[in-house]
Amino acid sequence: MPSPALPPKATPDWTSIRRRRRIVAILLIPLILCLVLVVLCMIFEEQFIFFPSRYPQGDWNPAGLKFEDAQFTASDGTPLHGWYVPHENPRAVVLFSHGNAGNLSDRAEMLRTLNGLAGVSVMIYDYRGYGKSGGRPTEQGLLRDGRAARAWLARRAGIAEPRIVLMGRSLGGGVAVDLAAADGARGLVLESTFTSIPEMAAVHYSWLPMRSLIRNRFDSLAKIGRYHGPLLASHGNSDRVVPYEMGKRLFAAANEPKTFFTVEGGDHNDPQPPGYYRQLVEFLDALP
């Protein structure tokens, strides 16, 4: 009996196969590029957050500002540097934590105003990697630096650390919130401060899945509820770096007593107006 005939072998449709491969490649390229960008952002994360100017960049002998050099060391041995501007009869003793760019020498005019107009003794310091301070900036490093600066200031001013008013601008607000939440403060003053670094990344890099991958978090929104003392917060309603609504959210999460000052038309790096300093003096005079 003859064997049944076998069906002819199907000829591959190489045109369709090549078309499908091209489609897959086209779809994979954006995914691969996105993954590469995410990895690069993780590797160079600190470069996206911290923009230090090292000494000798800046004006280290500003006219009309009398200050003492402060040399001290963080708990991990990192050498740090600051300026202390004393007042003969201060309303308060203030530790000022500056933003993420430049160094303390860029803030001479602000120090003159705080010391002269607001009538406070004030210390400003450079985080590790900034100005004359050693090391490289990281979140945990900056928090250590803030604690070391507060300890130096308390010794120099002859007061207990919780009697110091903590003041921070932008990134420095994250340092000030951490100190106040952990150890308390006579008062807390925040200028143009964000809720957290992951939320800032979502604002400026919304197309990258960065929120869960960021190591440096500065999560002030989660911490500020642990501070139970007077708060003065200010924010410009035209801030193009830290959205005004973000500053309002951080303020809403804080405990009473608290005051919010809107800088009308203020952008992120604009100087504070005279009305803000009048509000600051009123705030300081009301502190217990």
Q: What would the pLDDT profile of 5-42 be if each residue is shown by its tens digit?
A: 566 666 666 777 777 878 877 777 776 766 666 665 66
Residue 5: its pLDDT value, please? 59
Residue 176: its pLDDT value, please? 98
Residue 58: its pLDDT value, please? 97
**Identity (one letter) of the amino acid at 110?**
M
What is the helix (H) or strand (E) element at residue 260, kind and residue range?
A: strand 258-263
Whole-number Cα distances in Å, 109 to 4, 106, 125, 135: 99, 8, 15, 27
Q: Helix 171-183 vs helix 139-157: angle between axes, to the nearest 10 degrees?
A: 70
pLDDT in tens, 159-190: 999 999 999 999 999 999 999 999 999 999 99
pTM for the whole structure = 0.87
Residue 19: its pLDDT value, please? 79
Q: Is 193 left (phi over 0), alpha (psi -120 to 50) or beta?
A: beta
Residue 11: its pLDDT value, please? 66
Low-confidence ranges of the chain (pLDDT < 50): none
Residue 98: its pLDDT value, please? 98
Residue 257: its pLDDT value, please? 98
**Domain spans, the chain:** 50-285
Domain 50-285 sits in CATH 3.20.20.70:
no
Q: H helices of the chain, where? A: 14-43, 45-49, 108-116, 139-157, 171-183, 197-204, 220-223, 244-252, 274-285
Residue 2: its pLDDT value, please? 61
Residue 12: its pLDDT value, please? 67
